Structure 1
Amino acid sequence: MVTEERLASWTGPSSDAEQLKQDLTERMIREAIAAHAAFDGVNLSIYAKGSYANNTNVKFDSDVDIVVECREVEYWEDYDPSAGGHPAGSPYEGPWTPDRFRAEVKAALVNKFPNGSVTSGTTAFEVEATSSRVNADVVPCFTYRMYFANGSYQEGTKLFKTTGGSIVNYPKLQLERGRAKNTRTNGAYKKTVRILKRLENVLVDAGLSDEVPSYLMECLIYNCPDEYFTRATWRGTMQGCLADIYNYTNRSEPADEAERWLEANGAKFLFHGSQKWTREQVHAFANAAWDYMEFG
């Protein structure tokens, strides 16, 4: 049985040494973009996203994700095209196409991290770790807004894949809503996310589960009721969360949108046809975690 003491030891973030490496990695990427002449005078927003930014990373899962957002261009959609919501404006005719922006971000990184340290994926550039820094994914993207009929909007990013197509994310909303849930639960939300991530590491190492994406685990805990995080023990918290995850993924997606689980940004449905994960994958993981915890 996984004891209360062991669970408590799993609540902490990555080590101070790892934190120093993460901070150095972020700083070096910021320096690379700032030093690149092609970006002089360009409206860019550079910020961390994901587990590092949200303080839910754990040892051995301590990569850094850095967004390089071009705010010279706004991509947008209307939530209800028939109702409108986006204010009238002229199409963008400037130089910052997705291909050019991606090429300049790559050039900036290669100048800072030479000798093959930078490799290109379909969405992000990976900067290889050294003894003093961690692996980093650098994501070139553009400002994106989803407009509602009343003219309000939720802001995210739009990134373009080298293989075609695009992806909309909401990293700032993830940060804001994660902080709000953590405040409501007196800090227990993020501690529970770290417990689940460390539990997943144990299960994978033991051959009891396939790997589960770090972001997905944060999303699963995000959907668990706040009341679970006020229970007297970590075992009690985990029992409630794993039961909810198991039960939710043991049935089909609810027809009522209000009952569907969301990503940790609160803006996108957690399960749908184009996600990188499936309900069956999550259900199998929850089952393995429940058994390993010996909840009976």
Structure 2
Amino acid sequence: MIRDAIKAHGPFQGMSSLVYAKGSYANNTNVRADSDVDIAVECTEATYWGEQTPGAHPPLGKYTGEWTPTKLRRELVAALKAKLGDDVDTSSTTAIQVHSSAARVEADVVPCFRYKHYLSATNYREGAKVFRTDGTEVINYSALQLAKGRAKNNNTNGAFKKTVRILKRLENVMVEGGYHREVPSFLVECLVYNCPDDHFGRSSWTSVVKGVLGHIYVSLASEAEPINQGKRWLEVSEAKYLFADGKKWTRKDARDFAYAGWNYLGLGKV
């Protein structure tokens, strides 16, 4: 439906773009209670970039075309409203939300641009840059998240993604029962990703969940990030630190979730 809306919108004719699902739906770690779909509409007319160290990538010239972040968002809103009408909600600073009366599931549609983070002059990570309406920016690495998650899942004989879904369902049940506050779905997936592979090879799912929750609780005992950068926990993409300035969660939030889940399931003494 979103692709159809873009194709039918005149100003988008001739604009180079990619439309793709991202997040838990694309990564097959979604659960029924969190069934909304994240859709990226990525304008590839311009490429934004950053660098690991100054001088890693000399500037190649400034983009002078018409597709600014403001124009991209404005035209995407117009395209979606033309097809979906009042089901389009623009109140969020990041995503344009499509409500479920027009589709089988809710959707968060994110306008973004191609982004490259240069580690050297020839080596870079490719992602997408999002310009929020409040003036802030965020970089996503959806393709890396997909690739790293698949590799982890293969290394654990499919147990990684199953464990993620178990803990997401656990989080939903705890929230519904008023036992614990809501925890972002993305954070849960990243916490499980940072657990060693051998935790997923245990003889029962109870043992797997016990090992994963225990590892999260013990490993995040300190609220301070390790001085050794190699010991810091990463997002699934391995391109960004999981606990860093500007994040909506802290190490304590993650530890509290593991502790609550452990006790809710009656797994014994931590």
Q: Smaller-chain TM-score range?
A: over 0.9
Please state if 1:118 is matched with 2:96: no
For the residue of structure 2 that corresponds to 1:113, the secondary structure is helix
Residue 25 of structure 1: aligned partner:
none
- Structure 1 residue aligned with 2:32: 59
Q: CA deviation at 1:249?
A: 2.2
- Structure 1 stretches lacking a partner, 5+ long: 1-27
Structure 2 CA distance for partners of 1:133 and 1:208, relative to 1, 3 Å = same
Task: Check whether the contact 1:85–1:152 (CA below 8 A) recurs between aligned residues.
Answer: no
| Partner deviation per Cα, 1:41-69 (whole Å, 9 max, x = no partner) | 21101100011101111112110000000
Aligned counterpart, 2:2 = 29
Partner residue in 1 for 2:267: 295
> Could you tell me which residue of structure 2 aligns to residue 228 of structure 1?
199
CA apart distance, 1:279: 1.5
| Contact residue 146 and residue 154 of structure 1 kept, 8 A | yes
Aligned residue among 246, 250, 256 for 1:278: 250
Distance in 1 of aligned mates of 2:258 and 2:156: 22
Task: Tell me which residue corresponds to 1:263.
Answer: 235
DSSP 3-state at the match of 2:61 = coil
Alignment match of 2:69 (pick from 91, 98, 101):
98
- Given candidates 29, 32, 43, the residue that maps to 1:70 is 43
Contact 1:78 1:146 in 2 (8 A): yes
Question: Structure 2 CA distance, aligned partners of 1:131 and 1:104?
Answer: 20
Q: Does 2:191 align with 1:191?
A: no
Q: Does 1:241 align with 2:212?
A: yes
Distance 2:58 2:12 in 1: 28
Residue ranges of structure 2 left out of the alignment (5+ in a row)? none
Q: Give the CA deviation at 1:149.
A: 2.4
Cα distance in 1 for residues equivalent to 2:199 and 2:255:
20
Deviation at 1:261, TM superposition (A): 0.5
For residue 142 of structure 1, give the secondary structure of its aligned residue in structure 2.
strand
CA contact (8 A) 1:143 1:157 kept: yes
CA contact (8 A) 1:72 1:96 kept: yes
Greater relative contact order: 1 or 2 (C-alpha under 8 angstroms, separation 6 or more)? 1
Match of 2:122 among 116, 129, 151: 151
Is the CA contact 2:87–2:101 (under 8 Å) kept in the aligned structure 1? no
Distance 2:266 2:169 in 1: 16
Q: Is the 8 A contact 1:197 1:214 kept in 2?
A: yes
- Asked if residue 41 in structure 1 is aligned to residue 8 in structure 2, the reply is no
TM-score by length of structure 2 reads 0.95
2:87–2:102 CA contact under 8 A, matched in 1: no
* 1:178 correspondence with 2:149: yes
Equivalent position SS for 1:241 = helix
Q: Percent identity?
A: 53
1:130 to partner: Cα distance: 1.9
Query: 2 CA distance for matches of 1:150 and 1:76?
Result: 12
User: Cα distance, 1:240 vs. partner?
Assistant: 1.1
CA drift of 1:146 comes to: 0.6
